[in-house]
């Protein structure tokens, strides 16, 4: 387990449904109605309910934690929210896919993971990356 420079971790795909967003609104305290009301979303020009940007970033964090061998190894994580993830009112929702590439840093105990996070083959996060602690090569 773990991330090595030059390796390509297994892509992760996570379904996002309205039920996830409602649960996240409650758990995170972010109750902005654009994340649960189509009416509120349309009022600001969105096609419908969208995922919290932080929801998508949390999924990216899950992928990195899995790849890294534990969430405690994720030292830094961040992204720009560049495109909304529109979540339909059905039981399937949409899939968010997370892929990564692993690059060296100047410290042997860490690697940089450049993330590509897409929904329906379009990037939804920009400059998405993580810094991960790894075991230095013995």
Positions that interact with another protein (CB under 8 A): 14-15, 20, 23-24, 26-30, 44, 53-55, 57-59, 61-62, 64-65, 70-72, 74-81, 127
CB 57 to another protein: min, Å:
6
Q: Which burial class, exposed, middle or buried, applies to 116 when counting CB atoms under 10 A from its CB (0-12, 13-18, 19+)?
A: middle
Nearer to another protein, 14 or 134 (CB): 14
- Closest to another protein by CB, 6 or 33: 33
Contact in structure between 130 and 24 (CB atoms under 8 Å): no
Q: Give the shortest CB-6-to-another protein separation in angstroms.
A: 24
Q: Which is nearer to another protein, 6 or 70 (CB)?
A: 70
Residue 1 and residue 69 in contact, taking contact as beta carbons nearer than 8 Å: yes
H/E segment holding residue 60: helix 53-68
To another protein, the closest distance from the beta carbon of 15 in angstroms equals: 8
In the complex, the smallest distance separating the C-beta of residue 67 from another protein, rounded to whole angstroms, is 12
Residue 4 burial (CB count, 10 A): 13
CB of 30 to another protein, least distance (A): 6
67 phi/psi in degrees, rounded to 5:
-60, -40
Opening angle at CA 107, ends 128 and 54, nearest 5: 20
Closer residue to another protein, CB minimum distance, 4 or 80: 80
Name the token pair of 110: 């860490």
Token pair recorded at residue 130: 């993580």
Residue closer to another protein (CB basis): 6 or 39: 39
């Amino acid at each position: 387990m773990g991330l090595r420079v030059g390796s390509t971790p297994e892509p992760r795909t996570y379904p996002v449904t309205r039920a996830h967003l409602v649960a996240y609104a409650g758990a995170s305290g972010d109750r902005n109605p654009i994340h649960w009301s189509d009416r509120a979303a349309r009022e600001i020009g969105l096609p419908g309910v969208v995922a919290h940007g932080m929801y998508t970033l949390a999924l990216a964090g899950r992928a990195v934690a899995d790849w890294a061998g534990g969430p405690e190894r994720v030292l830094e994580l961040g992204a720009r929210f560049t495109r909304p993830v529109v979540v339909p009112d059905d039981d399937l929702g949409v899939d968010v896919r997370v892929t990564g590439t692993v690059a060296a840093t100047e410290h042997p105990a860490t690697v940089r993971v450049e993330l590509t996070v897409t929904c329906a083959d379009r990037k939804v996060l920009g400059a998405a990356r993580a810094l991960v602690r790894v075991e230095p090569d013995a």
